[in-house]
Amino acid sequence: MKQEAEAGEFLWEHLPLGEPVPCDRYKHACCLYGRFIYVHGGRETGSLGDFWRYNLECNEWEQLKCTEEKLEGHSMVAYQGVLCVFGGVIDSAFTQGKCPLWMYEIDAAKWILCPRRELELKCASPDNRKGHSAVVYGSSMYIYGGYLDLKGPSSEFLAFNFDTRRWSLVSPSCSDHGPGCRHLHSAVVYGAAMYLFGGLNVKDEQNDLWKWNFSSNTWSKIKASYRPPKTVGHSSVVYRDSMLIFGGGRPNCASVNSLWKFQFNSQTWKKLAALQDVTQPSKMYHSLIGFGCSFQPNLKHSLNDLNCKQTDLQKTSSKLRYFQSQRSNKIADISDGNVMEMKIFTQSDLPVHSCSVQTSFEDSLTDEVQTILPTENNPFSLFVEDKAVSTAAMVEKDIQCQHITSLDMTVCCCPDVLLLIGGKPLSCSGKITLWQTKPNII
């Protein structure tokens, strides 16, 4: 029997995987959209150019069509049904001047290489880089820093607008105030601000924390006497009103398994205790993914405060049942040469509500919620003692939601799971490693 975590402690559980499964890797790009985790590229013995999707519901991996590029140290973010992959190109004479930005349209299963425009190059320089950070705020992706071949670490702060598909310069690289040149750091968005931690400047590791205010367009440094040690290659996520930072280390040194928590309101750090177990992972250049309502900081209205009209409820119920019926449509194996299709609803598919959830709405969600409830075959079963959790109990949670969509309800009505994907050192089996922990004990 596995040792249970005490109060204030956390325990990583290794999730066994079937076949097919990606090879293990580090410096890959990873993001969550709906109930799927997408993994692109990275490095094993050399740079990788594959693209995988992990189904959280079924605990299954599936390889998808990919670009011809082999990337490492790149980034990937999701925005309204599109995955945006930036940077990570292996520099050569062939790739010089090539725009390192790809868009993957999930519904169409299609990759698009975004062209460079001459006018953009006069005010912004979206050159290839590695080890940068990428976050989404509003309708834009924000890129900070990274390592540019021959130029070294950068302090450029760039924005890419998804609607216009144009770049702009947020702050000049010569700015005296701010994090300065930085790569192998991490960044998250909470509220109207971006928080950037650690990384490597020109020659030294860092453990400073910076806040970029999107409203005032200013940097401020958050000072704390107690904070994590200097680290690079770590990963960060927002959990409720805090930021979690896991792993990392220093170049040419062993990776660590430390988990730190930064409370946004009190601006204080706390180191969380890991159970003393030799099987616990110590990783660098990994990915950290949070799934569940507590990892959704942009969903701002409680479901308990929603006041829906009955007609809207009926429309929502109909849409959710349609989405469930579409789940059986599998994506064709890329080796067959068939067109891959996947239907996922976005905010435009379902009505936006400002209402209170009634029992009738709960009944309409039962079928969809049950598809993501814990079972013996999915990763959530470790985190729920009573697997006969009622839909009512799930809906009655104080869940923060802004839009009622099938994706949001799936996320809101499942347990919180923190997943650790890949990283260095690589596994002995050669298969990608997938670890999970229960964050609500933190």
The token pair that represents 384 in the structure block:
């729920």
By C-alpha distance, which of 215, 221, 272, 207 is closest to 242? 272
Q: Which residue has the higher pLDDT, 95 or 171?
A: 171
* One-letter identity of residue 396: E
Whether 90 is in a domain gets the answer yes
Please give the pLDDT value at position 67: 82
Q: Which residue has the higher pLDDT, 442 or 293?
A: 293
Whether 434 is in a domain gets the answer yes
Q: What is the DSSP string of 252-319?
A: TS-----EEEEETTTTEEEEEEEP--TTS---BS-EEEEESGGG-TT--SBGGG----HHHHHHHHHH
Confidence of residue 160 (pLDDT cuts 50, 70, 90): very high
Whether 297 is in a domain gets the answer no
Whether 3 is in a domain gets the answer no
Same domain, 315 and 195: no
The stretch 407-432 carries a mean pLDDT of: 80
Which CATH number do you get for residue 60?
A: 2.120.10.80
User: What's the structural domain count of the chain?
Assistant: 2
CA dihedral 414, 412, 185, 55 (to 10 degrees): 50
Same domain, 170 and 201: yes
CA dihedral 60, 68, 104, 401 (to 10 degrees): 50
The stretch 363-385 carries a mean pLDDT of: 44
Q: What are phi and psi of 299, to 5 degrees?
A: -95, 105
Same domain, 424 and 391: no
Same domain, 313 and 243: no
For the cut 90, the answer to whether the pLDDT of residue 140 exceeds it is: yes
Query: At a CB cut-off of 8 Å and minimum separation 6, what does 4 contact?
Result: 11
Sign of the dihedral defined by the CA atoms of residues 59, 281, 130, 174, in that order: positive
Other beta carbons less than 10 A from residue 398's beta carbon:
9
Query: At a CB cut-off of 8 Å and minimum separation 6, what does 378 contact?
Result: 56, 57, 58, 59, 372
Query: Residue 274 in contact with residue 257, Cβ under 8 Å?
Result: yes
Please give the pLDDT value at position 389: 39
By C-alpha distance, which of 5, 21, 32 is closest to 238? 32
Same domain, 30 and 126: yes
Same domain, 39 and 187: yes
Same domain, 242 and 346: no
The stretch 374-392 carries a mean pLDDT of: 43
By C-alpha distance, which of 344, 417, 426 is closest to 384? 417
Q: What is the DSSP string of 236-260?
A: EEEETTEEEEE--B-TTS-----EE
* One-letter identity of residue 211: K
Burial class from Cβ neighbours inside 10 Å (0-12, 13-18, 19+) for residue 78 reads middle
Task: List the domain range (segments joined by +) for residue 307.
Answer: 303-412
Query: Residue 5 in contact with residue 441, Cβ under 8 Å?
Result: yes
Q: Which residue has the higher pLDDT, 105 or 324?
A: 105
Whether 101 is in a domain gets the answer yes
Assign residue 15 a region: left if phi > 0, alpha if psi is -120 to 50, beta otherwise?
Answer: beta
Whether 320 is in a domain gets the answer yes
Confidence of residue 253 (pLDDT cuts 50, 70, 90): confident
Other beta carbons less than 10 A from residue 315's beta carbon:
14
* One-letter identity of residue 116: R
Sign of the dihedral defined by the CA atoms of residues 137, 139, 145, 149, in that order: positive
Of the candidate ranges 108-112, 137-141, 252-256, 300-304, the one whose mean pLDDT is the lowest: 300-304
By C-alpha distance, which of 75, 8, 5 is closest to 40? 75
Whether 200 is in a domain gets the answer yes
Percent of the chain whose predicted confidence (pLDDT) is above 70: 64
pLDDT digits (tens, 9 = 90+) for 74-102: 999 999 999 999 999 887 655 666 678 99
For the cut 50, the answer to whether the pLDDT of residue 311 exceeds it is: no
For 65-137, strand residue ranges (E) read 75-79, 82-86, 101-105, 110-113, 133-137
The token pair that represents 404 in the structure block:
């009622």
Scanning the structure block, which residue is given the tokens 């490693």? Answer: 433
Same domain, 126 and 36: yes
Same domain, 238 and 128: yes
For the cut 80, the answer to whether the pLDDT of residue 436 exceeds it is: yes
Whether 1 is in a domain gets the answer no
Other beta carbons less than 10 A from residue 137's beta carbon:
16
Q: Which of 10-24, 113-127, 349-363, 365-379 tops mean pLDDT? A: 10-24
Same domain, 122 and 17: yes
Count how many residues are written for the chain. 442
Same domain, 49 and 188: yes
Instruction: Give exposure, 82-98, as e/b (b: 16+ Cβ within 10 Å).
Output: bbbbbbbbbeeeeeeee
The stretch 101-110 carries a mean pLDDT of: 95
Query: At a CB cut-off of 8 Å and minimum separation 6, what does 142 contact?
Result: 134, 135, 136, 157, 158, 159, 170, 194
Same domain, 44 and 154: yes
Sign of the dihedral defined by the CA atoms of residues 173, 147, 168, 214, in that order: negative
Please give the pLDDT value at position 25: 97
Sign of the dihedral defined by the CA atoms of residues 170, 173, 178, 184, in that order: positive
For the cut 80, the answer to whether the pLDDT of residue 229 exceeds it is: yes
Average pLDDT along the chain: 75
By C-alpha distance, which of 233, 172, 166, 231 is closest to 27? 233
Query: Residue 243 in contact with residue 255, Cβ under 8 Å?
Result: no
